[in-house]
Amino acid sequence: MISEMPEWFRLRLALTTPFFWVLVVLGAPALLYSPGVDVALWSLPLRAFVEEFLFRGVVQDALERRFALRIGIVTGANLFVSLLFALAHLPTHPPLWAALTFLPSLAFGALWSRHRSVTACAFLHVAYNVMFFLSV
């Protein structure tokens, strides 16, 4: 299982795997979109998977292995990654919307901490995004 591999090996594996770079290239157009009701719903699963792979599968997992801070179901790594997640949304979202991504990110991170599944995090992320964009 990937989560049992040494941290340096997982990072090296991610950076040298063509699949990782395909995800990065496919996720890059997300930087150009403007949030609103005109977002293509078909793109939400791809964006969610790319974000969850990077933020949970790579960054949060590496930080949780290094730092053991935990407050209830939320880890210190989850707090830090959720802050990064919100900051990463600043280029494509109004500041308030970007800040509001912090709370759902905590939920995605708690799910990661408990189940170590990028797929589960991505499904939750997609469900949240679909509900959000359909309500805007």
The secondary structure of 4-42 as a DSSP string is GS-HHHHHHHHHH-HHHHHHHHHHGGGGG---STTS-GG
Give the predicted TM-score (pTM) of the model: 0.71
Tens place of pLDDT per residue across the chain (136 aa):
555 666 666 556 555 656 545 545 555 554 444 555 456 777 888 989 999 999 999 999 999 999 888 888 889 999 999 999 999 999 888 899 889 899 999 999 999 998 999 999 999 999 888 887 777 6
Cβ(92)–Cβ(31) below 8 Å: yes
